[in-house]
Amino acid sequence: MADKFSGVHWMLATPFHEDESIDTASVAKIVDKALSSGCEGMVCLGVTGEAARLTDRERYQVAEAVIQNANGLPVTVGATANSTAAAIQNSKEAEELGAAAVMVSPPAMGKPNPDAVFNHYARLADAIDIPIVVQDYPSTSGVHMSPDFIARLSSGIPAAQYLKLEDPPTPPKISAIRKLVGDDMPIFGGLGGVFLLEELARGSAGAMTGFAYPEVLVDICRHMAEGDRARAEELFNRCLPLMLFEFQEGIGVSVRKYALQSRGLIECPVVRHPGPNITDETKAEFHRLVEAVGLG
């Protein structure tokens, strides 16, 4: 493999038409935004990409549209499933389409145990030839992975090359993991970017998140990489209220999609049923906040 992933890998929303069918024209627009914003990669079919609400055929359609429009930018495809066999099938399909990596969270289990989770990733690694981004997001998977276990994955499964860390508080966990693995397993923050500055200060490689203003994330990462924490901190602190607003539990996807529509990046902000759609009151709050942080 070439150079390791770093910087911003923008998490893409899945745009729908009003009838909830996939809007591939809008997929191309948001991919273009990732390219023009200076992102180092992009990720499709994540949690906020509503992957769990898509059929297998739609998953293929979205991944194909993203990769075909990526113009060589690395694309990581979400391949999480509730069985190892299904995760392998999703991952093989992504690899065949040209994905640079797959992102996989542990499968939901009645009684999660470390050996079962380790074997899940080991079997997946044996079945594909591209890297795995291990997604540590216990609020959705129900599986908690300790720093020691993540170090075990890193040392025992060479294909488990990256970690997307979404187990708050993330900055202390980054420090704990890096003490065990060093730079062997680059760590990316998520969670809407709300801890990005502290994550970078603790040694994260960048961000895999879908904040609707990716150029802001890119600039924060660039300033930190250049050693200009003051400029990174000013930009982060100014935009943090909007990041928090967009990342509201329960309605965050609808806010993000409305933000993308407001920017002309998708045609329709609809969230697939039964997900909640944005209200007029929330739209007004969003616009006031955009103006307040200087992104209007």
The predicted model gives 266-274 an average pLDDT of 97
pLDDT, tens digit, for every residue of 56-78?
Answer: 999 999 999 999 999 999 999 99
What domains appear along the chain, each with residue ranges and CATH number? 7-229 (3.20.20.70)
Residue 45 has pLDDT above 90, yes or no: yes
Residue 288 has pLDDT above 60, yes or no: yes
**Helix, strand, coil % (nearest 5) of the chain?**
50, 10, 40
C-alpha 110, offset from chain centre: 25
The predicted model gives 239-249 an average pLDDT of 97
Residue 271 has pLDDT above 80, yes or no: yes
- 245 vs 251: CA distance, rounded Å: 10
The predicted model gives 140-169 an average pLDDT of 96
The predicted model gives 150-160 an average pLDDT of 98
Band the pLDDT of 235: cuts 50, 70, 90: very high
Whether residue 86 contacts residue 112, with contact meaning beta carbons closer than 8 Å, is answered with: no
Band the pLDDT of 111: cuts 50, 70, 90: confident
Band the pLDDT of 124: cuts 50, 70, 90: very high
The predicted model gives 252-275 an average pLDDT of 98
Residue 230 has pLDDT above 70, yes or no: yes
pLDDT, tens digit, for every residue of 172-215?
Answer: 999 999 999 999 999 999 999 999 999 999 999 999 999 999 99
Under 8 Å CB-to-CB from 118, ≥6 apart: which residues?
Answer: 149, 152, 153, 156, 157
pTM of the predicted protein model: 0.96
Helices 24-36 and 56-69 pack at an angle, to 10 degrees, of 40
The predicted model gives 142-149 an average pLDDT of 95
Residue 1 has pLDDT above 50, yes or no: no
Q: Look at residues 34, 54, 50 and name the one whose alpha carbon lies nearest to residue 42.
A: 34
Q: Considering the chain, what percentage of its residues have pLDDT values greater than 90?
A: 96
Residue 269 has pLDDT above 90, yes or no: yes
Burial state string for 93-129 with b = 16 or more CB within 10 A and e = fewer than 16 = bbbebbbbbbbbbbbeeeebebeebbebbbebbebbe
Residue 108 has pLDDT above 50, yes or no: yes
